[in-house]
Structure 1
Amino acid sequence: MTEAQIIEKIKHGLALSSELSDLEFKTARSNIPNDIWKSISAFANRRGGGLIVFGVSQELNAVVGCDCLDMMQRKLIEYFNDKMSFVLRPEYHVINFEGKTILAVEVPQCPKDYMPCWYKPVGLPNGAYIREGNTSRRITDSEFRTYIATSKEFQFDLSEAANTTRSNLSDIKILGLLKKRELEVKRGAESRFDEGLLQNLGILSKFDGEYKPTVAGYLVFAKDIPQERTPYERYVIRCVRYAGNNAASEIIDSADIKGTLDVQLDDSYKFILKNIRKTSIIVGTKRLEQFEYPEAAIRELIANAVIHRDYKIIETYTQIKVFSDRIEILNPGSLPPGVTVENIRDAQFSRNSIIAGRLRDLDYLEEYGRGIDIVLKKMAEWRLPSPLFRNLVNNFEVILLGRKYRKLNERQVKLIDTLLVKGKITVQDCQKILKGTPRATINKDLRDLKNIGVITPKGASVSVFYTLAF
């Protein structure tokens, strides 16, 4: 916009004593509001973007001017470059209007493929706003689902698999898939499958006018080992068996699991079973051997790690750590938007829907959509505690506790869940978390957790606090 167009728009708003669908006033004489991200998000998610004018008071319907323009622009640049989900390039206009200096900022529309644009410190969906009339409001759950259904930000497995061509896919494996789906196999003169059909399955897509493998297509159907090609070197599942209950103990087995995703799933599963104990149980008149952890729960959690890994993160591995008293699975990428530790059992959202679909076709996800339910059910059948979940900034962790934790009560599990989030707790914190529980009961719960090696007390007696021992 030109300076004249901006002034005309401001005059129009002042004449109406109102902001507009593409115009917002901020008094902000010497600083920017802490919630300016709401306006940035709303305009970025609006067709055509919008204009934020600093130095005009909506309440007074008057121009009040701005001080500290340099500082204000530096803070705004930080928001646009670092704090929003998509880097936006606004236009800044310092304008003299009615004898006062104002700052007008043109917020561009976020590319449709990367909507919604949200405020990263708050996350999704609460950090995403849209414009409705002349006000900004948070997107609804329904609007959020509509956005992510078409957003490339959440369809990375459909993007182009870098440094690959159609020839890098295994026709034998693809044929197996098509037969399982009972699809007609059409071959051309070069014995290649119908590319339109493979596009419908998300295995191929057109990039620059040429059919090439998608990320999902290559990771599931590669004829070679993906991890031997850039940039897939760290799409590895790193498995380690420790002798003790912490990472400082001796490593007695380890493996970097490579290959296509189905191979990684199988080999990781075999590694865990090889490295956990078996015990004998009596069923009726028969003596049976049983693994320390339910096999079905282990397999589901590995499948979930493969499906929900954030494959945009190429700097680190999926990690499986088998300790003497537990199993930890740490996966790159925090929970998908809209999914929390609290609603993880009911949420139905996959970060990589094509990967999930093709692995289901290959019979690796027979109970697709019920994975967490199966884990909870099987752990209960084994009389083991429910799995612990920890949602971190760039990782998600699941912890399966072994038999030594069988006697944990609900209060103790609640304290462990809190420690996974907060990192430490005091007795006073426990009284708030376990409202109504006698102090003596809380002390006994903490003592028992300490004795079985779950928590560690730290600090002096007056200011003692507890952290997880693992």
Structure 2
Amino acid sequence: MFDSKEELLQKIRLGEDTPLELKAVRFRGQNIVGPSRDDLSDEIAAIANTFDGVLLLGVDDKTKEITGIPVDRLDAVERYIFEICEQSIKPPVTFRVFRIELPDNMGALQPILKVEIPRSLFVHESTGGYYHRQGSSKRKMPPDYLARLFQQRSQARLIRFEEQPVPQSNMDDLSEGLWVRYTARYEESPEIVLLKRNLLSKEESGAIRASVAGVLFCCEHPERFLPNAFVEAVRYRGIRQDSNYQTDAQKICGPLDQQIKQVMAFMKRNQTIMAMKGPHRIEKPQFSERAVFEAVVNAVAHRDYSVFGSKIRFFMFDDRLEIYSPGALPNTVTIDSMALRQATRNELITSLLAETPVVEPIGDMGRGFYMEKRGDGVPIILNESEQLCGKKPIYRLIDDSELLLTVYSARMEQMNKD
């Protein structure tokens, strides 16, 4: 936005409007005293809550004079912006900073910072509350406006979150080796097919971005754009969640199908294989691979990706396995009805998993695709696990914001008795 110096100078001459905010930077000794953290956090959040915008630091908003920033202070001002976006705005705002020089009234070049703030996927709260941009000013959002914005961006969603465009992304961020799986059978150009399949999404401005689903399935590193789209896997020795007893830990990233595959590999290398003595050696695993596979697929497919700061957690203990999945239950599903009803918040993600081939075998799954959409995932989890250890897994909703599945381990002494 405003990519040329000529366009920037013209915008400065015209003054602030919805996509442009000007701020002079003032110092007292080594400290930045203006603009204040609170004021700047409100301005940045207001832009992110509205449209794509640009904040120019080093330009007076009243006189439109290019005052500049001393070259030796540019790093400090950039850190100031970073700290505000990370610490004073919830969830943090993404931004890009460019250092440029513009001529002042005397024609001398002055360094300034151009901060590009994309329209966000989330609703941001700053120091003063919830703001949006109206004309050249920030305004506190009335309750009805705020409710609609939450609905559009993260709650009931008029446009599903998985189909929304991801700021600062484009088709080049998607890997052809990944997206070709979803375009090969169509004759139209890849871009048109990806748009039709909602793996690309068009913004109001006309810019084509990767969608949330596009990033999750077709980007080699989805966490670049969706920082919490990964699985935290930990193996604990014993039965308590205590970092002193961690024996293995892995941050599992990558496209969703690769995450599932890596979680299963983590489980297999960390579970105990128990042998039953007798004429013929019979090995039984600590957990049912088929049940765990279904549980991991369900967690990846049905988690709420709009919940900022939450990831899937996969914890293994001597006596159980715990899978924490962000988000409440979708639609009208309850804990009691999960085994009987089929519902999802992420229809596009489940559809894509249903056509994503399992290229390399994952245990003895007998699966051609990651999801079969028959609605038998939860029954498999419950029945296979109970058959192995004699105890049915338990689902529990935590604070109406996270689903916990506990799968119990087969016991060594039980195996020796079989």
Does TM, scored on the shorter chain, surpass 0.5? Answer: yes
Aligned mate of 2:262, from 262, 267, 274: 267
CA deviation after TM superposition for structure 1 residue 372, in Å: 0.3
Counterparts of 2:285 and 2:304, CA distance in 1: 30
Q: 1:380 to 1:406 in 2, by over 3 A?
A: farther
Q: Residue 356 of structure 1 aligns to a residue in which SS?
A: helix
State the partner residue of 2:349. Answer: 355
Q: 1:399 to 1:405 in 2, by over 3 A?
A: farther
CA deviation after TM superposition for structure 1 residue 364, in Å: 1.0
Counterparts of 1:286 and 1:339, CA distance in 2: 46
State the partner residue of 2:385. Answer: 379
- 2:209 paired with 1:212: yes
Q: Deviations over 1:229-286 (max 9, x none)?
A: 24x2222211111111001351111111111111111101110111111123589x85
State the partner residue of 1:20. Answer: none
Counterparts of 1:109 and 1:176, CA distance in 2: 39
State the partner residue of 2:359. Answer: none
Q: Percent identity?
A: 25
Counterparts of 1:384 and 1:310, CA distance in 2: 31
Structure number, greater radius of gyration: 1
Consecutive unaligned residues of structure 1, counting only runs of 5 or more, are 1-80, 91-106, 119-147, 188-192, 408-470
- Please tell me whether the aligned partners of residues 168 and 209 of structure 2 are also in contact (alpha carbons under 8 angstroms): no
Greater RCO (CA < 8 Å, at least 6 residues apart): 2
**What RMSD, in angstroms, separates the aligned Cα atoms of the two structures?**
3.1
CA deviation after TM superposition for structure 1 residue 211, in Å: 2.6
CA deviation after TM superposition for structure 1 residue 323, in Å: 0.4
Counterparts of 1:389 and 1:402, CA distance in 2: 15
Q: Residue 188 of structure 2 aligns to a residue in which SS?
A: coil
Q: 1:281 to 1:351 in 2, by over 3 A?
A: farther
State the partner residue of 2:194. Answer: 198
Q: Deviations over 1:356-399 (max 9, x none)?
A: 11111102113552210111221233243111111012211000
- Please tell me whether the aligned partners of residues 286 and 410 of structure 2 are also in contact (alpha carbons under 8 angstroms): yes
Q: Residue 347 of structure 1 aligns to a residue in which SS?
A: coil
Q: Deviations over 1:24-65 (max 9, x none)?
A: xxxxxxxxxxxxxxxxxxxxxxxxxxxxxxxxxxxxxxxxxx
Counterparts of 2:254 and 2:311, CA distance in 1: 14
- Please tell me whether the aligned partners of residues 341 and 375 of structure 2 are also in contact (alpha carbons under 8 angstroms): no
TM-score by length of 1: 0.50
- Please tell me whether the aligned partners of residues 323 and 406 of structure 2 are also in contact (alpha carbons under 8 angstroms): yes
Counterparts of 2:277 and 2:165, CA distance in 1: 53
Q: Residue 345 of structure 2 aligns to a residue in which SS?
A: coil
Aligned mate of 1:234, from 213, 228, 238: 228
Matched to 2:406, the amino acid is I
- Please tell me whether the aligned partners of residues 286 and 411 of structure 2 are also in contact (alpha carbons under 8 angstroms): no
Q: 1:171 to 1:250 in 2, by over 3 A?
A: same
- Please tell me whether the aligned partners of residues 383 and 406 of structure 1 are also in contact (alpha carbons under 8 angstroms): no
CA deviation after TM superposition for structure 1 residue 221, in Å: 0.7
Counterparts of 2:193 and 2:413, CA distance in 1: 50
CA deviation after TM superposition for structure 1 residue 289, in Å: 2.4
- Please tell me whether the aligned partners of residues 318 and 331 of structure 1 are also in contact (alpha carbons under 8 angstroms): yes
Counterparts of 2:373 and 2:347, CA distance in 1: 15
State the partner residue of 1:400. Answer: 407
Counterparts of 1:108 and 1:218, CA distance in 2: 29
Matched to 2:235, the amino acid is R
Matched to 1:357, the amino acid is S
Matched to 1:342, the amino acid is D
